[in-house]
Chain A
Amino acid sequence: MILAADPLLSGPVGLPEVLIVLLKVGAAFAFLLVSVMLMIWFERKLLGGMHQRMGPTIAGPWGVLQTLADGIKLFFKEDLIPDRSDRLVFKLAPYLSLVPAFLVFVIVPLGGDFAGGSGVVRWWGRDTYLQVADPPVGVLLFLAMSSVAVYGVMLAGWSSGSKYPLLGSVRASAQMVSYEAALGLAVAAVVLMAGSLSTHDMVLAQAGPGYFGIIPSWNIVLTGFVPFVVFAVAGTAELNRPPFDLVEAEQELVGGFHTEYSSIRFALFYLAEFMNTITMSAVIVTLFLGGPSGPVLIGAIDWAWGVIWFSVKLFAFLFGFVWMRATLPRFRYDQLMDLGWKLLIPLSLGWFLFLAALETGRDRGWNLAVVTVVTVAGFVLAGFLLAGALASARRGGDRFGPGGGGDDGDDGDDGDDGEPRDRVLEEAG
């Protein structure tokens, strides 16, 4: 019922159809798990290289089995549950992190020939897509799952019954909820271009011949690069990866929301984190870089080229994530919130309105130059208004600054003390 768009399930469903679906689920599951295993090794090896050290070398050739060894070790370690924890929620939380990470991968098209055909493969006389499911809500499933994933982090910190995990989880959930808005607005731009929520249709829409023979008609070009940058930044923050990894800032929070977790439960969080990195990269590839679409170079199996192109694009993003981790220092918490609320959300909202105006103009036959000029003028006006509002808010804050607000006798409270001093420093500098 939810798979209505897949030609496999539009007809009568018998045993072969069920077997094909099971095969696809198994293949996607295996692809994801093997990718996670290799990704953890790859990240450690690459970070090692960038830090001028060796990285894992012992287990298997080039240390490639390191993840497997770590997994087995974690599995046999003692499983600690803190006395003051909420036992039920403590045990539930890792799964609330893991399951959404798996479910997002379901909507990612993994292969198929989009250049020649329409991404349909024919197996044992039955047409199907090379993705586990193509629900009508498509990419909304990704947004839904990323909002469900907040629960895992939040409840893990709360149920530990300990201070640092709670601080880490409050930080993490505030960060994830904040950046979801920017993420959603960037996705909206892509949906506007593709005219559909279905990920299959999005890839199909991007598989066109392109411009001048070299520029592909991918959404990264069609949406004008800005939504891609917003999505990549907001996605990194959503993953709690460096430079947005305040969630587990070791110097401040010990280990963040999973400080009290050990053994296999910790391994589940670790697994979910890397799985999310891979699914986020896969979603970026699907939304902005044409997913598995690409030319069929040689050979008879044309759908396999889709898998190859997809893997190549995916790998480029995974490399980028590791590179960023090795290069960029961590953000401060107020910088993180400023970036999300004051820059990314207005930028992506404005750009979305601009794209919508262009689409309407193209539809109605307006002069696109005039549309652009008017929209840019609107942006400048809105930018001035926003800057003015921020400036007046800062002035308004000073009225209640040091000495005001009745907190002058309050020398025991660190949080209230720090803020006015920060503001004085800001003005002096």
Chain B
Amino acid sequence: MEAAVFIAAAAVILVGAVGVVGSRNPVHSALFLIQTLLGAAVLFVLQDAHFLAAVQVVVYAGAIVILFLFVIMLLGVDRAMRLDIEPIAGQRPLAVIVGVALAAVLLTVTVVATGELTGVRRAAGERALDNGLSDVERLGRVLFSQYALAVQATAVLLTIAVVGAVVLTRRHGGHSGPSGEET
């Protein structure tokens, strides 16, 4: 059962990933990216990480790719491109080399850390420890007790980023208007 779901989700992810790189049209690339993200959400559910799956859909598929699409549509780059032109010389071979190297590093780390190719499932005894608590509750407890300071620092950082973005657009745009409020 688990293997079947994994294979199906992996196929969806792989098709999406290839589609992101291979599409001529940037909007199609963004759509394939959503497919990849949704497939990854299924994998999270398979690992009992329900909250992570929901956040994946809400934040990545629901907000970030929407932003990508807005930028693509409003900048007017939403038409098909010729893929045989290389804007940066040597980019493609370099991309292949870096990709293969990254995969090799990840695999090495997994094998060294766990001794297996796909990682290990948690033991049954370990699972019994969090019995009765959902992953949302466990995550909340850890974040708001052990890592409370880090959470608050992140919140402050995000607020500063938002304020900074608003200030920058206002100074740059010259006049305030409804466009400044959509950031």
Measured CB to CB, the residues of A under 8 A from B are 1-2, 86, 88-89, 92, 135-137, 140-141, 143-144, 147-148, 150-151, 154-155, 158, 166, 170, 173-174, 177-178, 180, 197, 333-334, 337, 341, 393-394, 396-397, 400-401, 404-407, 416, 419-420
Contact = CB atoms under 8 A, between A and B. Distances in A.
Given A2-B45, A173-B66, A180-B62, 10 more contacts: A89-B28, A154-B69, A158-B78, A197-B134, A337-B178, A337-B181, A397-B176, A404-B174, A404-B175, A419-B177
A405 B27 contact: no
23 contacts: A1-B46, A2-B50, A88-B28, A136-B50, A136-B135, A140-B55, A140-B58, A143-B58, A144-B54, A144-B62, A147-B62, A148-B62, A154-B66, A155-B69, A174-B182, A337-B181, A396-B176, A400-B174, A404-B174, A405-B173, A405-B174, A406-B174, A416-B175
B73 A158 contact: yes
B66 A177 contact: yes
A170 B74 CA distance: 9
Contacts of B70: 170, 173
Contact of B58 (A136, A147, A337): A147
Contacts of A166: 73
Interface string B9-24: 0000000000000000
In the A-B complex, the 3 residue pairs with the smallest Cβ-Cβ separation, listed nearest first, are: A147-B62, A405-B174, A397-B176
Contacts of A155: 27, 31, 69
B175 A137 contact: no
Contacts of B46: 1
Contacts of B78: 158
B136 interface: yes
Given A89-B27, A137-B50, A140-B54, A341 B181 contact: yes
A155 to B, nearest CB: 8
A174 B66 CA distance: 10
Contacts of A406: 174
Interface residues of B, number: 36
B53 A137 contact: yes
A393 B176 contact: yes
Most buried by A among B48, B63, B73, B176: B176
Contacts of A197: 134, 136
A86 B177 contact: no
B110 interface: no
Interface string B25-61: 1011001001000000000011010110111011001
A170 B135 CA distance: 37
A341 B182 CA distance: 9
Nearest to B178: A334
A416 B173 CA distance: 11
B45 A1 contact: yes
A86 to B, nearest CB: 7
Nearest to A416: B175
Given A151-B34, A400-B175, A1 B69 contact: no
B178 A333 contact: yes
A404 B171 CA distance: 12
Nearest to B1: A1
Contacts of B63: 147, 177
B135 A150 contact: no
B156 to A, nearest CB: 16
Contacts of A333: 178
A277 B54 CA distance: 23
Contacts of A88: 28
Interface in B142-183: 170, 173-178, 181-182
B48 A147 contact: no
A393 B54 CA distance: 36
A397 B28 CA distance: 38
A158 B178 CA distance: 22
A178 B70 CA distance: 14
Contacts of A178: 182
Contacts of B31: 89, 92, 155
Given A135-B50, A137-B136, A407-B174, A148 B182 contact: no
Which one of B46, B61, B135 has the highest number of Cβ atoms from chain A below 10 Å of its Cβ?
B61
B136 to A, nearest CB: 6
A87 to B, nearest CB: 12
